[in-house]
Amino acid sequence: MKAAYYARFGGAELLNVGDLPEPELAPGEVLIRVRAAGVNPVDWKIRQGQLKAVLPYAFPIIPGWDAAGEVAAVGEGVKGLAPGMRVMACTKKPLVQWGACAEYVTVPAAAAIHTPQSLDDTQAAALPVAGLTAWQALRDFARIEAGQTVLIHGAAGGVGSLAVGIARERGASVIGTASPANGDYLRELGADSVIDYGAPDLKAGVLAVAPEGVDMVLDTIGGETLELSYALVKAGGTLVSLCDQPDHDQCAHKDLAATRLSVRPDGGQLAELAGLVASGAVSLPEIETLPLERIAEAHRRSEAGHVRGKLVLTIS
């Protein structure tokens, strides 16, 4: 099958597009003919070797944790999915090796859902990792409710864009941080306020909008951004970090419920999110598509840190 892959850790120049054997289908799994595969920062973090101590791997590695396409075959014991059905899935697995940037990928049947009719494959491939991350932060961990205020750092990215919509759908108010060029984009997604993260005093900018602090911070950036977040969340509030581990003492001092989230595949949550996107209750992020053959360019763009919405690779 056609696949993008690399055989050692390093830069984007190590990405090849060539021929690899198809993955083997195990009982309880489905084989997906992938038509579109989302690009996420985790793809290049793995490729650079940043995660080799925490994620078991085997070379050659086919990157990609977001797949959309149709069922090519089902393994023993799989019910409710049959060849030809349109599906989408988060393809994260315990072993990093057989990813979504290929003509075929296997996933446990529980991770694959029917793609709503109104979503095309590129739209479906934009949702799994970014959407499940936002969902697990806002709905699972923080259990945000109507009337609450959520601060989303990195709101114009893949996770941030979907987090804006998920928070708004729950009736929460959203403050997003982004560069000025993304202000209109975020307001269209439903953000109530957009704060320029490059402004001299980001903290003051947020407190001008939410003088008592926010109920929840979703930090997709880390470092200094996480550091200043402790002062922006109300005592007893919630902090979800996607990059750095929240500081135990700072969180204890304000009685914060805090975590560094690690996204997990969940077909039930993905189906709920996809349904909300299909109905228009949650807006789709902006999507730019590139053919699989341009995967190195897509990785470099993601590494530069300023993708708006999602990059999705198409696989013909």
Ligand X SMILES: NC(=O)c1ccc[n+]([C@@H]2O[C@H](COP(=O)([O-])OP(=O)(O)OC[C@H]3O[C@@H](n4cnc5c(N)ncnc54)[C@H](OP(=O)(O)O)[C@@H]3O)[C@@H](O)[C@H]2O)c1
- Main-chain dihedrals φ then ψ at residue 202, nearest 5 degrees: -60, -40
Site residues (CB under 6 A) for ligand X? 40-42, 45, 129-130, 133, 153-154, 156-160, 177-179, 182, 197, 220-221, 225, 242-243, 261-263, 302, 305-308
Q: Nearest to residue 163, comparing CAs of 132, 198, 192?
A: 132
* Residue placing its CB nearer to ligand X in the complex, 41 or 237: 41
* Residue placing its CB nearer to ligand X in the complex, 81 or 274: 274
Contact assessment for residue 123 and residue 310, using Cβ atoms and an 8 Å cutoff: no
Query: Least Å distance between CB 102 and ligand X?
Result: 21
Query: Least Å distance between CB 310 and ligand X?
Result: 7
Neighbours of 247 (CB within 10 A): 16
Contact assessment for residue 33 and residue 57, using Cβ atoms and an 8 Å cutoff: no
- Report CA-CA distances (Å) from 127 to 19, 115, 163, 264, 285: 27, 11, 11, 13, 9
Q: Nearest to residue 304, comparing CAs of 157, 102, 199?
A: 157
Three-class secondary structure of residue 143 per DSSP = coil
Token output for 202 = 């980001």
Query: Least Å distance between CB 60 and ligand X?
Result: 22
Token output for 44 = 């290049």
* Residue placing its CB nearer to ligand X in the complex, 69 or 131: 131
Task: For residue 89, list its beta bridge partners.
Answer: 67, 112
Give the whole-angstrom CA distance, residue 278 versus residue 9. 38
Contact assessment for residue 129 and residue 40, using Cβ atoms and an 8 Å cutoff: yes
Query: Least Å distance between CB 113 and ligand X?
Result: 19
